[in-house]
Amino acid sequence: MLGLYRQVNGYRYLSDEAVTGSPDDYRADELRNEAWKIVQGRADHTRADLLESFGLAAAHGHGSA
């Protein structure tokens, strides 16, 4: 089902990663924790990219803190 879902979903930020298996196989807190691992990884990556961009801009006089 995941492959089909990816084909029909147009959301451009859809993660390449997924929590696989049936949700019935997880307790609610387990499912949340598995999903959070994916979200947190993406957030950390985005934050690192933004900090790098800011650092480059500030170094060239195009930003301030």
pLDDT tens readout for residues 10-52: 999 899 999 999 999 999 999 999 999 999 988 999 999 999 9
Say if residue 65's pLDDT is above 80: no
Give every CB contact of residue 57 below 8 A, 6+ residues apart in sequence: 63
The verdict on residue 49 lying in a domain is yes
Q: How many C-alpha atoms does 6 have within 13 Å on its Cβ side?
A: 8
The verdict on residue 22 lying in a domain is yes
SS3 for 4? helix
Give every CB contact of residue 1 below 8 A, 6+ residues apart in sequence: none
The pTM for the full model equals: 0.63
Range(s) of the domain holding residue 15 = 2-59
The verdict on residue 64 lying in a domain is no
Contact 57, 63 (CB under 8 A): yes
The verdict on residue 51 lying in a domain is yes
Per the structure, the count of domains in the chain is 1
> What number of helices (H) and strands (E) belong to the chain?
2, 0
